Structure 1
Amino acid sequence: MQRLFLHFYLFMLLVLLGIGWSVDRLWQQSQPQQQPGWVSVLGQSLASQLNQPDASAEQIAGQLDLPLQILAINAIAWSEPEQQALSRGQLVPLFSGNAVYFYRHSHDEQLLLQFGPVEIEASSHQGYFFTLLFFALLAIAVALWLWPLARDIQQLQRQLKQFGQGMQLPEQKLPAHSLLAPIANSAQQMAEQIRRLVALQREMTHAVSHELRTPLARLSFALEMQNIAAADKQAMLQDVKELDQLVDEMLDYARLESQTVQLTKEQVNLAELADNLVEKLTPLPGAAIKLQKPDTLWLCCDAHYLERALQNLLVNAKRYAKQQVLLTLSQQQNQLLVRVEDDGPGIAPEQRDKILQPFVRLDESRSKGHGGFGLGLAIVSRIVCWHQGQISIGDSKLGGALFELRLPLKQPQPNK
C-alpha cells in the first residue's frame, strides 16, 4: 500500500505541474501582443479634447465617463521615453492588469492628470476553453494511470472468485511491474496455504472415518455373538449404529465443506419432490407433516442434494415438534421460498447463529434424548450456499422454530 500511495502521489504531483505549466504557456501565447484598437482611438480622442484652449479636464472626464485623479509627478516610476512624452504634453497610456490608464501633465508641471481605469474585457470563452483543457488533460492522465490498475484489480478479482468457487489457483499471474503484484503474491500464498489445509483436513476426515468403519463392524458383529441380556445388547447396538451414522455424516459434510461435490443441476418440479419426501418421512416417528404448495414449482437445482437439505430440516422438525410440522413452498418475485415450521420449544435468538455451524447442538434440555450430531443443519447450510441461496431462522406462528430457505428461482418451460 505504501508503494501504491507513493506512486500515485508522485504521479499526481508531476501531472499537475506539467499540465499547469503547459496550459499557462498556451494561455500566454494566445494573448494578443498588441493593445486593442479602441485604446488608441480613446487616447486620440482624449488628447484632442485636452488640447482645446478652453477645455477643462473635469468636463472632459465627465463627458467620456472616465474617473479623474490628480497625482504627483513622482507617484509613478516613468521610463525615459515616457518622461519625454509627458514633457512634450503628450498623453501616455499605461496598462495594469485588465485595465488601462491615461496620464498627462496638468497646468502645474509637478502634477499629473490620471484618467481611468478603463477595463479591458478578456474573452470569457477563451478562459473557459483553457479551464476545460486543463481538466480534460488531467482526466486523461488519471485515466491512463488508473486503467492498468483497474485491469489488474479485475484480474485479481476473477482469480479470487475462481478460487472461492473451485479452489483453483490462477494460471496467469499479475506482471511483476504491476502495483498490485505484492497483493496478488500474498493472495497466492494464502490460497496455496488454504488448499494445503483443506486437503489435510479432508484426508484426515476420510482416513479417520474409514478407519472407524472396520472396528465398528467388528464391534457390531461381536455384540451379536455375545450372550448378554437383550436390553443391554440392543442399547450397545444402538450406540454402534449412531457411531456409524456419525461417520456417514462426517464424510458427507467433509465433501460439501471442501467443495469437491459437483452439482448436477436440472429443472426439478419441487412440488412433486416435496410430495415424495413427505410420503417417505411419514412412517418415521414424530409429528405429522403438513404440506402447503402450488401444483407445480420449477427450480434449476441438484435434486439429490436439495432433497437432502429438505429431509434434514423435516427430520429435525419432527424430532422436536409436539404435534405438527408445516412445510410451505411458495414463489416470491424471483425467489423460491421454503419454510419449515414446528410447534416445538423453538430456538433462542442468541443460539440461531451458532446452530448452523458443524458439531454445534442446543442445550441439553433440547437435545438430550433426541440424538443428532450437530451436522444436519450444517449440511443444509452448505447445500443452500451451493445453490446461491440463503437460510434464516426465526419464530414460527405454530410456536416453535421456523427455518426459511430462499433460493434464486428461474421459471423454465417444463418438458412436454
Structure 2
Amino acid sequence: MVRLLISLYLVVITSIVVINQASDYVWQNWVTHAPDELRHAKQVAHVMQAHITTPEQLQASYQGLDIDSIAWLDEQRTQLLNGEVLTTYNAQGQALLSFLLLDNYTLVQLGPFLPSEPASNKLYLFKFISFLVLGLLLIVWLRPLWLDLMQFKRVTEQLAQGNLNVERKTSRFSAISDLTEQFHIMAQKVANLMTDQKQLVNAVSHELRTPLARLKFALAMLQSTQPEQVSGMQQDVQEMESLIDEMLSYARLEIAGEQLSCEEFNLSELLLAQLDKLQGLSGKEITTSISSGVLVNANAHYLARVLQNLLQNADKYGSNRIDVSLIEVEQHIFIKIDDDGEGIAEDQYETVFMPFVRLEKSRNKHLGGYGLGLAIVKKIVSWHKGQCVVAKSKLGGASFEITLPK
C-alpha cells in the first residue's frame, strides 16, 4: 500500500511540474510574442505622437483632423488631452487608434485594424490541454492497476461459478503486483480446498456404503437370535445410511450450481402443487394467500426442492397451523411460510442455515434431519441471486421469507 501511495504521489507531482513548465514555455513563446496587429499599431502611434509635433509634418504623409470634428465622450476627450492613445471601434468591430499632437488640437487616426484576439481564449485552451495531458498520464499509470483489479474480478467470478481453473496473469508494472501475487496464491488454495472437499465428501459417502451393506446383512442374520440388540443396531445403521444420502445430495448441489439452467415458469402453480402434496400428508391447518400468475425466471426443479424443504420444516416443527403467502412487488417476488411452533432464538437466525447445524429444544435430532435442509435452501436461493431470512412468526413460531428477483 505504501508503494502504491508513493508511486501515485510521484506521478502526480512530476506530471504537474512538467506540464506547468511546458505550458509556461509555450505561453511565453506563442502568446506573448505572437504577432498582434493592433498592439504593433499602438507602438507606431506612440512613436508618431512623440516625433510629429506640427500639422505640417503630419500632412506630408497623413491627413490630420481637429479634435472637435468628432463627438467624443467626456472620458475619451480627457484621455486624448492627457496624451493617451485612444482605441475605438467602428460598426464592423475594427479598431481605430486616435491621438493628439503636441498642439492638443490636431487629431491623428490610424486604422482600421483587426481587433486583437482575446488572450483568455488561449488561456482556457491551455488549461484544457494541461488537464487533458495530466489525465492521460494518470491513465497510463492506472492501466496496470486496472488490469490487476479486473483479474481480481475474473478470479472471484470463476470461484463463485465453481470454475477452479484459476488463471494467473500479473503485470510487473502494477503498483499492487505483490498484492496480486498473494491474491492468486490465496485463490489457488481456495480452489484446491474446494476440490479436496468435493472429493472427500464423495469418496467418504460412497466408500461407507459397502461396510454399511455388510452390516445390514450381518444384522439380518442375527435378527433371529438377538432381536432386541439387533433392532437398536439396525436403527443406527439406518441413520448412518440416511446421513450419507443427505451428504451426497448436498455434495451434488455443489456440482449442480455450476450448470444451473433457468427458464420462465409459473411460480404460483409450483407452490400450489407443493401445498397439495403437503395437505395429503399433514393434519395441520394450512392457510394460503397466493397471488395468481406470478412468473419467475429460475430453475423449477431446485425451487421445488426449496419449497418442499421449507413446507416440511413448518409441518415438522409447527403445532397446529401453517400460513403460506406469495406476492409480487415491482421487480421482486416474496414467499413467506409461517408456523406456530416454538420458533427459533434470534441469536440463531444465521447459524440455522449452516450445514449440519441442529438447534436445541423442539428442533433436534429426535424429529429427524441432519441440519442440511435449510443449508440446501440457502444455497439454492443464493444461486438465483435471492435471499432467505428467518424471523419470528406472527403465529408465534418461525417465519421463513424468500426474496427472488423476477
Point out the more displaced range, 286-295 or 230-239.
Answer: 230-239
Q: If the length of structure 1 is used for normalisation, what is the TM-score?
A: 0.71
Whether 1:165 aligns to 2:166 is no
Partner of 2:101: none
- TM-aligned CA deviation for residue 359 of structure 1: 1.5
One-letter amino acid of the structure 2 residue matched with residue 210 of structure 1: H
Q: Cα gap change, 1:200/1:152 in structure 2, threshold over 3 Å: closer, same or farther? A: closer
Point out the more displaced range, 268-277 or 305-314.
Answer: 268-277
One-letter amino acid of the structure 2 residue matched with residue 18 of structure 1: V
CA contact 1:286–1:321 (8 Å) conserved in 2: no
1:173-220 superposed Cα distances (whole Å, 9 cap, x missing partner):
244444454333323222221122122222222222223223333333
Question: Which whole-Å CA distance do the structure 2 matches of 1:133 and 1:277 have between them?
Answer: 67
Q: Cα gap change, 1:279/1:234 in structure 2, threshold over 3 Å: closer, same or farther? A: farther
Which residue, 264, 288, 297 being the options, matches 1:267? 264
Partner of 1:383: 380
- TM-aligned CA deviation for residue 307 of structure 1: 1.4
Give 3-state SS (helix, strand or coil) of 1:364's partner.
Answer: coil
1:262-293 superposed Cα distances (whole Å, 9 cap, x missing partner):
22323332222223322323344563444432
CA contact 2:144–2:173 (8 Å) conserved in 1: no
Whether 1:351 aligns to 2:352 is no
Task: Number of aligned residue pairs: give it.
Answer: 344
- TM-aligned CA deviation for residue 324 of structure 1: 1.3
Whether 1:133 aligns to 2:129 is yes
Q: Cα gap change, 1:127/1:294 in structure 2, threshold over 3 Å: closer, same or farther? A: closer
Question: Which whole-Å CA distance do the structure 2 matches of 1:404 and 1:336 have between them?
Answer: 10
CA contact 1:326–1:342 (8 Å) conserved in 2: yes
CA contact 2:326–2:336 (8 Å) conserved in 1: yes
Partner of 2:295: 298
Question: Which whole-Å CA distance do the structure 2 matches of 1:149 and 1:205 have between them?
Answer: 39
Q: Cα gap change, 1:347/1:43 in structure 2, threshold over 3 Å: closer, same or farther? A: farther
CA contact 1:343–1:401 (8 Å) conserved in 2: yes
Partner of 1:17: 17
Partner of 1:325: 322
Q: Cα gap change, 1:10/1:185 in structure 2, threshold over 3 Å: closer, same or farther? A: same
Whether 1:240 aligns to 2:227 is no
Give 3-state SS (helix, strand or coil) of 1:388's partner.
Answer: coil
Partner of 1:197: 193
- TM-aligned CA deviation for residue 47 of structure 1: 11
One-letter amino acid of the structure 1 residue matched with residue 196 of structure 2: L
Give 3-state SS (helix, strand or coil) of 1:206's partner.
Answer: helix
CA RMSD of aligned residues (A): 3.4
Q: Cα gap change, 1:351/1:196 in structure 2, threshold over 3 Å: closer, same or farther? A: same
Q: Cα gap change, 1:154/1:266 in structure 2, threshold over 3 Å: closer, same or farther? A: same
CA contact 2:159–2:191 (8 Å) conserved in 1: no
For structure 1, the 5+ residue unaligned runs are: 50-62, 67-121, 410-416
Question: Which whole-Å CA distance do the structure 2 matches of 1:65 and 1:135 have between them?
Answer: 44
Which residue, 249, 253, 258 being the options, matches 2:250? 253
Question: Which whole-Å CA distance do the structure 2 matches of 1:236 and 1:287 have between them?
Answer: 33
Which residue, 356, 359, 363 being the options, matches 1:362? 359
CA contact 2:155–2:187 (8 Å) conserved in 1: no
Question: Which whole-Å CA distance do the structure 2 matches of 1:299 and 1:64 have between them?
Answer: 84
One-letter amino acid of the structure 2 residue matched with residue 375 of structure 1: L
Give 3-state SS (helix, strand or coil) of 1:338's partner.
Answer: strand
Q: Cα gap change, 1:298/1:232 in structure 2, threshold over 3 Å: closer, same or farther? A: farther
Give 3-state SS (helix, strand or coil) of 2:161's partner.
Answer: helix
> Residues 9-408 of structure 1 correspond to what in structure 2 (within 5 A)?
9-29=9-29, 30-32=31-33, 38=42, 123-171=119-167, 173-225=169-221, 226-227=223-224, 235-257=232-254, 262-284=259-281, 287-367=284-364, 369-408=366-405
Give 3-state SS (helix, strand or coil) of 1:398's partner.
Answer: coil
Q: Cα gap change, 1:337/1:27 in structure 2, threshold over 3 Å: closer, same or farther? A: same
CA contact 2:331–2:405 (8 Å) conserved in 1: yes
- TM-aligned CA deviation for residue 43 of structure 1: 9.4
Question: Which whole-Å CA distance do the structure 1 matches of 2:240 and 2:155 have between them?
Answer: 40
Q: Cα gap change, 1:369/1:404 in structure 2, threshold over 3 Å: closer, same or farther? A: same
1:82-139 superposed Cα distances (whole Å, 9 cap, x missing partner):
xxxxxxxxxxxxxxxxxxxxxxxxxxxxxxxxxxxxxxxx944443333333223222
Partner of 2:8: 8
One-letter amino acid of the structure 1 residue matched with residue 350 of structure 2: D
One-letter amino acid of the structure 2 residue matched with residue 24 of structure 1: D
CA contact 1:268–1:298 (8 Å) conserved in 2: yes
- TM-aligned CA deviation for residue 230 of structure 1: 6.8
Q: Cα gap change, 1:198/1:154 in structure 2, threshold over 3 Å: closer, same or farther? A: closer
CA contact 1:360–1:374 (8 Å) conserved in 2: yes
- TM-aligned CA deviation for residue 388 of structure 1: 1.5
CA contact 1:330–1:336 (8 Å) conserved in 2: yes
Give 3-state SS (helix, strand or coil) of 1:166's partner.
Answer: coil
- Between the aligned residues of both structures, percent identity stands at 38
Question: Which whole-Å CA distance do the structure 2 matches of 1:307 and 1:231 have between them?
Answer: 40
Question: Which whole-Å CA distance do the structure 2 matches of 1:163 and 1:65 have between them?
Answer: 84
Q: Cα gap change, 1:193/1:352 in structure 2, threshold over 3 Å: closer, same or farther? A: same
For structure 2, the 5+ residue unaligned runs are: 54-77, 82-117
Give 3-state SS (helix, strand or coil) of 2:201's partner.
Answer: helix
One-letter amino acid of the structure 2 residue matched with residue 244 of structure 1: E
